[in-house]
Structure 1
């Protein structure tokens, strides 16, 4: 198709605008969808962070209240965390992000969950209440011993000190009370070597106290010791790796935003350049044709001259030029015939 008419040029400019706008809309839609997907995944990361905070909250509530309801809530939150984590895997594969970050995060959350399960199991052994676990056994043995000679002079004070050290150790979990329990229980058992039945009960009591101390030592006397320190460290690992996953996603979002701007500006610039070039060419063609028409009308006052249609460019102007040329030719013929008639009349008059 030759764009040699004003109409075709207008159609061409319209097509350029439509194609440019279509390309711009298509690119914006494509990259916007990618950005929406990435931001949805980032929203998943934020929700995973909230899940982790809830898990830490349930963890602390359990340690404070020794209520297994918080362990159930912790487990439910862990399932929610893993479900959201699994949804990130396809996105990381699609955008060639380091899948090892997701795998490391999955391993860390599993370690954190397992460590907390060990804490709960150990707390069950110690006793979630005074009537369960080792604490219940110690209470029962103390009640039995309080009805024996152990609770009479001269061992009453020693037995009372041992009970007090046991209570203080359970409350404060300080090592000094653990040593005091070991020392006092050994002295108390040695004072009843002659009474076999009572000695057996005292040895059971001592074994229960030793088991209590050992479990608390395994549990951790401070937040950074023992099993508590291990699962707290695993929780920190999860937090750090969650930040690492978010850090890997952020540059991708910024890259997609930059591509939206680049493609949008590129398509708009290309469309504008092509449109301007077409307008410049059309203006130059029209200007040249207009000058030719002015020259034609100016010269027609003095001489018969036809317009060169090859220099006009637009088909509509060529049609006008052909009509003008026909008009000039018709005028020339009429004037020639008029001159011929006048010559004949002059000859007749002369004769």
Structure 2
């Protein structure tokens, strides 16, 4: 198709505008959807951070109150966290991001939750309250000893009271000094007053329960940074660090997509503008050349039979006008020729 008419040029400019706007709209929609998906995943990461904060809150509530309801809430929040973590894996595959970061985060979360399970299990063994676990067992054995033969001896009664006091102090402060007192005094009590087999067995059980309490407490962690408590606290810090690493890996992708949106939008707009400008310049030049030819034609037609060269006009509509003008010139020349012939004949008749 030759764009050699004004109508075709207008159609061409319209097509350029429509195609340019269409491509711009399609590209904007495509990149907008990708950005929406990326920001949704970013929102998932933010919610995962909130989930982690909730887990830390439930963790501290359990350590403070020793109620298993907080452990159940912790587990529920863990499942939510893992589900959200699984949902962002396809995004990392799509953009070829390091999936190892997600896998490390998942492993750290597993380590965190499993270590906290061990903490809860060990606390249940020690005793969530005074009425269960080793604490209840120690209280039960102390009651048996207080009601038995030891109650009849002031010295044994004093030793038992000192052991009980050291035990209570150790449960409150987890100070190793009280653990040594418990060990020394219980050993002395067993050696000095374990006369009968029944009493000796009870004292052995009592001493064994005290040693188990000390071992469990040490394993549990005397301070927040020791034992299992220190391990799961470190695991929680690892989860926080790796969650930030995953977020940091996603941020450049969002920035890259935003930059691509700007580049593609500007490129499409610039290309469309350039094509339109070129078409307009060419059309203007063609029209200007044709207009000059028409002016020259009418100017010369006053003195001579000037024909318009239709090849220099460009537009088909102007070529049609030029052909009509050329026909007018031919008709004028024919009429003037016939008029000259008639005038010559009349002049000859008058002369004769």
TM-based fold match above 0.5: yes
Q: Corresponding residue for 2:200?
A: 199
CA distance in 1, matches of 2:86, 2:223: 35
Unaligned runs of 5+ residues in structure 1 are none
What is the RMSD of the two structures over their aligned residues, measured on CA atoms?
1.2
Tell whether the 8 Å contact from 2:156 to 2:193 is kept in structure 1 after alignment. Answer: no
CA distance in 2, matches of 1:173, 1:277: 86
Q: Corresponding residue for 2:73?
A: 73
Q: Corresponding residue for 1:296?
A: 297
CA distance in 1, matches of 2:10, 2:175: 91
CA distance in 2, matches of 1:174, 1:329: 125
Report SS of the residue matched to 2:165.
helix
Cα offsets for 1:275-304 (capped at 9, x unmatched): 111111111111111111111111111111
Cα offsets for 1:1-20 (capped at 9, x unmatched): 00000000010011111111
Q: Corresponding residue for 2:234?
A: 233
Q: Corresponding residue for 1:8?
A: 8
Q: Corresponding residue for 1:56?
A: 56
Q: Corresponding residue for 2:148?
A: 148
Q: Does 1:179 align with 2:180?
A: yes
Q: Corresponding residue for 1:253?
A: 254
**Residue range with higher mean Cα deviation, 140-149 or 90-99:** 140-149
Cα offsets for 1:194-232 (capped at 9, x unmatched): 343223222211111111111000000001101111111
Q: Corresponding residue for 1:343?
A: 344
CA distance in 2, matches of 1:194, 1:202: 10
CA distance in 2, matches of 1:176, 1:62: 27
Unaligned runs of 5+ residues in structure 2 are none
Equivalenced residue count is: 351
Cα offsets for 1:49-92 (capped at 9, x unmatched): 11111111111111111111111111111111111111111111
CA distance in 1, matches of 2:177, 2:343: 146
Cα offsets for 1:139-168 (capped at 9, x unmatched): 111112222343441233332222111111
**Residue range with higher mean Cα deviation, 151-160 or 329-338:** 151-160
Q: Corresponding residue for 2:22?
A: 22
Q: Corresponding residue for 2:334?
A: 333
CA distance in 2, matches of 1:161, 1:275: 99
CA distance in 2, matches of 1:143, 1:44: 55
**Residue range with higher mean Cα deviation, 185-194 or 54-63:** 185-194
CA distance in 1, matches of 2:169, 2:321: 114
Correspondence list, 1:33-44, <5 A: 33-44=33-44
CA distance in 1, matches of 2:180, 2:3: 102
Tell whether the 8 Å contact from 2:187 to 2:207 is kept in structure 1 after alignment. Answer: yes
Tell whether the 8 Å contact from 2:194 to 2:203 is kept in structure 1 after alignment. Answer: no
Report SS of the residue matched to 2:194.
coil
CA distance in 1, matches of 2:179, 2:270: 79
CA distance in 2, matches of 1:280, 1:181: 101
**Residue range with higher mean Cα deviation, 146-155 or 169-178:** 146-155
**Residue range with higher mean Cα deviation, 198-207 or 154-163:** 154-163
CA distance in 1, matches of 2:111, 2:27: 44
CA distance in 2, matches of 1:82, 1:308: 81
With normalisation by structure 1, the TM-score equals 0.97
